[in-house]
Homo-oligomer: A and B are copies of this chain.
Amino acid sequence: MSQELVYRLMAELDALRLIDPHTHIDPRSPSATTLSDILGYHYYTELAHSTGLSRGQIEDPQLSPKERAERFLLHLDPINNTAQYAWLLEMARELFDFHAPRIDRFNWEALYDAAQARFDRPHWETEVLDASGLDAVFLTNDFDDPLTGFDTNRYVPCLRTDDLVFHLNRRTVRERLDRASGIDVHDVKTLRSALGELFQHFVKHGAKACAISLPPDFAPVAMRAGDINTVVRDIYGGSYDDLPHESSRQLSYFVFWTLAEFCAEFALPFDLMIGVHRNVYPQGVHQGRDLYDSRVSLYQYRELFNAFPQVRFPISVLASVTNQELVSYAWIFPNVIAHGHWWYSNTPSIIRRDLVARLEAIPRTKQIGYYSDMYKLEFALPKFRMFKRILAASLADEFVIARGWSEEDAVELGRQVLRGNVETVFGV
């Protein structure tokens, strides 16, 4: 039967050891210390806020971790239909040995305590990595992260560049750049040198990617240094927090383009996460304020893809409508790679639709199945499981049944998108 087939494929996929190519893990505190760390993930705080908890209740600094956890755990009923809730239940079952079919006022404390008992184990970090089948996870490092004090083979550095591209008008960002690069930036030439120093530093510490998230109206073009020099001198001369819009845009394009040049020079893939508008809902909870306008096209990046044939661009799109363009651009451009299922597109029915369209039209070497985007290691297991189940079902339906593939071949395709391509694309 087909369901048995899916189970068999899932079992094979679930036995793989993986590398998670995009997370927000803090390598100095990678796993949760209390269940409040888990429930403080914006996927839960924003849903709690959306269903009636106030920001004050959610972010109350007076609460102990247990009180904060209680507050969330007793407010799960309005969201128990969501995929996010399903992650929590699966995490509780698989990692904390908590098997109730739902969390309620009678059992929330048992869950809290069961979780705490795990978190308090001396080797919990390694336990949870093992239970999740993870060999390594990629980080998201600020450009001025010293990258010391952790094992960069397990926690792979990745240079995150949003601040550089979008917030160089802020004095604090400029000061951080001067400090991190050791260069007194004051014009285009020194700005370029400072950016180069960051790449030197990151690559020396084992960084495997440069990454950035981009708003839907971003349409980068090459800027001439001469054109941008006045803007750079202006922001470095004055105390500009309010650069004119057009200058700000030009500066963003210039810094972005320069980053792509360094990606070429240092042979780093440039992860583009396309489509987010920041702070659409300023009254929202921390990290629960960003949304999007789904009217965006990869056509906006054609000049970039043409200008940097030697740079690999793993691309995530925020809205599912952009997935077909991602499929087509990855089919045509050698340097475009489909990368995971991001944020608002990281729910089962959207993943299924987007994944099948990729599997049937993008070369198998040019798609990376999934990353967790997690802040705490405990989320890898439920998030990857969700994806692997969908992958198993897709391989069963579209390859074993529809095309007559052997199960071995189907699993091999699954292995490649889950693990093999992470290795080849990022060189790990």
- Spell out A's residues near B (CB within 8 Å): 46-47, 49-52, 78-84, 86, 101, 277, 280-284, 288-289, 291-295, 297-299, 302, 305-306, 309, 319-322, 324-325, 327-334, 344-345, 347-350, 353, 356-357, 359-366, 398-399, 402-404, 406, 413
A299 touches B293 (CB 8 A): yes
- Contact with A357, one of B291, B349, B362 (Cβ below 8 angstroms): B349
By beta carbon, the residue of chain B nearest A397 is B349
Known: A299-B292, A331-B46. A350 touches B324 (CB 8 A): yes
Beta-carbon contact of A325 and B319 below 8 Å: yes
Asked if A292 and B325 sit within 8 Å, CB to CB, the answer is: yes
Query: Which listed residue, B292, B299, B334, B347, touches A49 by the CB 8 Å rule?
Result: B334
Task: Closest B residue to A102 by CB, please name it.
Answer: B409
Contact of A357 with B365 in the complex, beta carbons under 8 Å: no
7 sample A-B contacts, Cβ–Cβ < 8 Å, listed by A number: A51-B365, A78-B365, A83-B360, A291-B302, A319-B324, A320-B324, A349-B360
- Kindly list chain B residues whose C-beta atoms are within 8 Å of the C-beta of A51: 334, 363, 365-366
Residue A101 contacts which of B291, B324, B404 (CB distance < 8 angstroms)? B404
Bound-complex Cα distance A327 to B318 (A): 13
Question: A328 to B344, Cβ gap below 8 A?
Answer: yes
Of the residues B78, B283, B329, B357, contact of A306 by C-beta under 8 Å:
B283
Cβ–Cβ < 8 Å partners of A328 in chain B = 291-292, 344
Residue from the list B84, B306, B319, B363 in contact with A79, Cβ < 8 A:
B363
Interface contact B349-A353, CB-CB below 8 Å: yes
A288 / chain B contacts, CB cutoff of 8 Å: 332
In this complex, what residue of B is CB-closest to A296? B295
Number of copies: 3
Complex Cα gap A10–B191 (Å): 64
B283 touches A291 (CB 8 A): no
CA–CA, A289 to B333, complex, Å? 9
Chain B's closest residue to A309 (CB) is B283
Chain B: minimal CB distance from A58 (Å): 12
Cβ contact within 8 Å between A79 and B281: no
Q: Which of B46, B79, B294 contacts A324 (CB 8 A)?
A: B294
Report Cα–Cα, A366/B78, bound state, in Å.
Answer: 9
CA distance A343 to B402 in the complex (A): 21
Complex contact A293–B297 (CB within 8 A): yes
Query: Known: A306-B281, A324-B294. Contact between A356 and B364, CB under 8 A?
Result: no
Asked whether, in the complex, the Cβ of B359 is within 8 Å of the Cβ of A350, the reply is no
Task: Assess A291 versus B332: contact at CB under 8 Å? Given A82-B361, A305-B281, A403-B86.
Answer: yes
